[in-house]
Structure 1
Amino acid sequence: MARLTEREREVAIEVAQGNSNAEIAEHLYMSIATVKANITRIFAKLGTDSRVQVAIKVRNAGLL
């Protein structure tokens, strides 16, 4: 999780909470396209390929 930027960390937490891209965009005041780009970078940095895996890593890191 240390490799993530603060904004990516915020998006990852939203993903872990089960929020959709549209909900994340609304909560964090960004476009859906920006949310998607952040999620793509999160997947790459964490070595994951699903939102569930991101959620597990967020929870294991104690961010929820």
Structure 2
Amino acid sequence: MKKVEVVKADDVEVKPFILDDFIQYRVQHSMMNKITKKELKHLADELGLVYDDTQIVFTKKLLNAYLLGK
């Protein structure tokens, strides 16, 4: 059972809710890694996709730009 403490309204501190205080933009960008051609080829093989080297290079450039926020 939890204990409950009753306080007066004057004792409660009210602050505005700022959503950005709860979003971790900096942590997300630092945790994102670049993707490699080997990883892309492995993923394509797992999904049964047909690809060639030019498609892998294009996809790598596109995903890395997306992950870095460019």
- What TM-score range do you get, normalising by the shorter chain? 0.3 to 0.5
Q: Which has the higher contact order (CA 8 A, sep 6+)?
A: 1
Q: Which has the larger radius of gyration?
A: 2
Relative to the length of structure 2, the TM-score reads 0.32
Relative to the length of structure 1, the TM-score reads 0.35
